[in-house]
Structure 1
């Protein structure tokens, strides 16, 4: 069983909150185009950037040092570089997603409903996969 380390509980809570937001994104995607929950759009627009930034900041202060401090781990620099690149990609995707949701709220979306649903699904599936991978890394490197 891996050891516990400082910040692990806080990171775990941040992951749970981000995954709950992914569940809301999935519910929203499932509702397109029949009945868009505008309140949910507003909540997601508000919470997504904040929750994603919090998770990334915690990962960089908790997960990355755990990986870097692990002796005998080949390719740890490449792993950290990959994780940083994923953070950048997630951040850019979140900005675009918020922009599209704002356009939906303002009734000026230029994308089709299919494209919006695909965008939502692509984002939450990527974030879920990212969290699962980083949890595995934590378990292996803690």
Structure 2
């Protein structure tokens, strides 16, 4: 049995993260209308499982290292109707998270492409 290359495994992981981005975007789009509680709960679970927080840019003032668990908890409690945050605040939190996650994935994918390019050039 052949083990997948580390590059392939990372690309698959980034695909999963981009799917998470799609879910977050769908929630953001639904906040003004009908919110899908199952999508919110599934997305909150995925956010909770991310592990280490997505690195925030050095100039970012809107986030902290522990924001992922807080975002997931806020989303779960909002679906249950007992959130201390308004949906407007959750919308803003989701947008910051989405922006940072997309930037993180794009930067990592660019780095992987450069590494693969350097590897094939030799």
User: TM-score range with shorter-chain normalisation?
Assistant: 0.7 to 0.9
Measured in 2, the distance between the counterparts of 1:110 and 1:90 equals 19
- Unpaired segments of 5 or more residues in structure 2? 57-62, 117-122
Asked whether 1:86 is paired with 2:55, we answer yes
Structure 1 residues 13 and 123, CA, compared in 2 at 3 Å: closer, same or farther?
A: same
- Aligned pairs, number: 107
| Change in CA separation of 1:85 and 1:34 when aligned onto 2, cut-off 3 Å | closer
Query: Is contact 1:29–1:121 with CA below 8 Å preserved after alignment?
Result: yes
Q: CA RMSD in A?
A: 2.4
> Is residue 111 of structure 2 the alignment partner of residue 137 of structure 1?
yes
Unaligned runs of 5+ in 1: 57-83
With structure 2 as the length reference, what TM-score do the two structures score? 0.76
Q: What secondary structure does 2:102 align onto?
A: helix
Q: Is the 8 A contact 2:24 2:43 kept in 1?
A: yes
- Segments ≥4 residues shifted beyond 3 Å: none
**Contact conserved, 2:14 with 2:105, CA < 8 A, in 1?**
yes
